[in-house]
Amino acid sequence: MQNLAEKQNITNYSDLYSLTSLLKLHEEEKSAFHHNPLFQRMRSGGFMTPQQRDTFFEYYQEWSSQFQRMILLRSALCEDERFQEVFAQHLDEEYGHDKVLQKERNILNLKKDPLVQALCGWFPHKMLSSSPREQWVISNLCIESASVIIHNHAIPVFDPCNISEYYNMHENHNYHHATGRLDFLENLQEYEYKRLSVILKNTWDIMNALMARIDYLCFIDTPIKAPSLLSCGQPISLEDLRMRNEEYKNNFRKHPLFAHMQNGYFSYPQTKGRFFSYLHVWSTYFQRLMMLKTALLENHPFSDFFWQHFEEEYGHDKILQKEIGDMTTDKDICLEALCGWFVAQMVSFTPHEQIVLVHLCLEAASNVFQEHATPALDPAKQHEYLSLHEELDSSHEMVGYSFLDGLSSSDYQRLLLIQESSWEMFEALMQRITDLCVESESDKILQIKERL
């Protein structure tokens, strides 16, 4: 089978960004994707038990469902006539595949994994901020190429007798979706190819991280069952929300990040600088969250409150950037996806749900963070960024409750679910930052030892 570069009769590679370089990068990423840990395990016969196979499909279902959201959003938002027909045809051929998978698999009701949710959610979220051409690169050039590879490895393991309707449908369409309409990429400016190269690389990085995470989850010893919804029969009130939030805060106080702070791990300029650099990634996404939350609310009783909160938070990322100086870290696609999850919720959450996420979770978590960060990272209180949040976050947490009074029991039950998912996602985000800081330092020490 010809690769895309050969199909376009491309023979010379230029260091400049071009169609040649874009398709060359794409072929390199496709080749690397074959070596994902998930596929290595499939090739080695790792999925031996029904539990492992059912677990794979449980988490793969999240990906299938979010892919449906992605192609729906892509078609709904497209106003470019050049892409409308292609997007509509793709939607027609893909629509409902998630329901076919749901019907075929055994449902385990495992607890949702925050990182899988964030990585899968990255794709529909990108439809809100990318051009139709960028969307085509994400959904057709990358995802459909990845799907061909996924199914080439998965079908011999999960459907050797070729009886799965889900796999049969994808075998018929994926290659065509991945290779058709390459003319969308022709005759662009260099800066456009540069932008598309970044989009392409990010998409493949997300796909690699997602498959590796699913592989890991399939082989942990005790997958945790999802907790059932509150079913005690008693009415749920604001007090239940308040009590649950205190439980989440107390649990967050046990986060490994704070243990590292207490034992002096971040006392050194290098480790402290690395931590603040990764924290700055979150700070920039929080600014985007605040902008979106405020901009989307119009003629609502909460409007003045949202604007006041925005004004008090605006520009804090720039203050942190100034204090970091020239310290930089490598981009981490998993951290970006986790941060992006919070921004994306502003599009679909109600104002009450936004208050739970922002005030009961993020502002409350920031208060807990300040309890540990100020003594460990800024005992002399010289950091403007930390001092600002120490002054503001406590009031930001508590004022949220005043906007949640007088709701129905069913409303509070919904808010409890928002509260749970928000805290789980934020703990996962902080865990990612912790892992990046600790792993980076461990790798550096190992490299030094190897040179000795």
Round to whole Å and give the CA distance between 288 and 324.
20
Structure tokens at 216: 């890991």
Residue 225 phi, psi (nearest 5): -65, 145
Contact 357, 418 (CB under 8 A): yes
Instruction: Compute CA 68 distance to the chain's CA centroid, rounded to the nearest angstrom.
Output: 16
Round to whole Å and give the CA distance between 87 and 67.
13
Please indicate, yes or no, whether the overall pTM of this predicted structure exceeds 0.95.
no
- Pick the closest to residue 351 from 302, 399, 295 (CA basis): 302
Whole-angstrom CA distances from 32 to 95, 151, 205, 405, 423 are 29, 16, 10, 53, 34
In the prediction, which pLDDT does 232 show?
57
Contact 344, 421 (CB under 8 A): no
In the prediction, which pLDDT does 230 show?
57
List the pLDDT tens digit at each of the 452 positions of the chain.
Answer: 445 544 444 334 345 899 999 999 999 999 999 999 999 999 999 999 999 999 999 999 999 999 999 999 999 999 999 999 999 999 999 999 999 999 999 999 899 999 999 999 999 999 999 999 999 999 999 999 999 999 999 999 999 999 999 998 876 665 555 566 889 999 999 999 999 999 999 999 999 999 999 999 999 876 677 665 555 568 899 999 999 999 999 999 999 999 999 999 998 988 999 999 999 999 999 999 999 999 999 889 999 999 999 999 999 999 999 998 877 788 999 999 999 999 999 999 999 999 999 999 999 999 999 999 989 888 888 888 888 766 665 677 889 999 999 999 999 999 999 999 999 999 999 999 999 999 755 554 444 334 33
CATH class, domain 4-218, is: mainly alpha
In the prediction, which pLDDT does 179 show?
64
In the prediction, which pLDDT does 337 show?
98
Round to whole Å and give the CA distance between 115 and 432.
9
Amino acid 152 reads: N
- Taking CB atoms within 8 Å and a gap of at least 24, the contacts of 77-84 are 77/127, 77/128, 78/132, 78/135, 80/132, 82/132, 82/184, 83/132, 83/133, 83/135, 83/136, 83/184
Residue range(s) of every CATH 1.20.910.10 domain in the chain: 4-218, 238-451
Q: How many CB atoms lie within 10 A of CB 148?
A: 18
Residue 110 phi, psi (nearest 5): -70, 155
Round to whole Å and give the CA distance between 219 and 303.
47
Contact 223, 110 (CB under 8 A): yes
In the prediction, which pLDDT does 395 show?
74
Amino acid 406 reads: G
110, β-bridge pairs: 225
- Pick the closest to residue 119 from 199, 210, 214 (CA basis): 210
- Taking CB atoms within 8 Å and a gap of at least 24, the contacts of 12-21 are 16/190, 17/190, 17/191, 17/193, 17/194, 17/197, 18/190, 18/193, 19/185, 19/186, 19/188, 19/193, 21/193, 21/197
Architecture per CATH, 238-451: Up-down Bundle (1.20)
In the prediction, which pLDDT does 449 show?
37
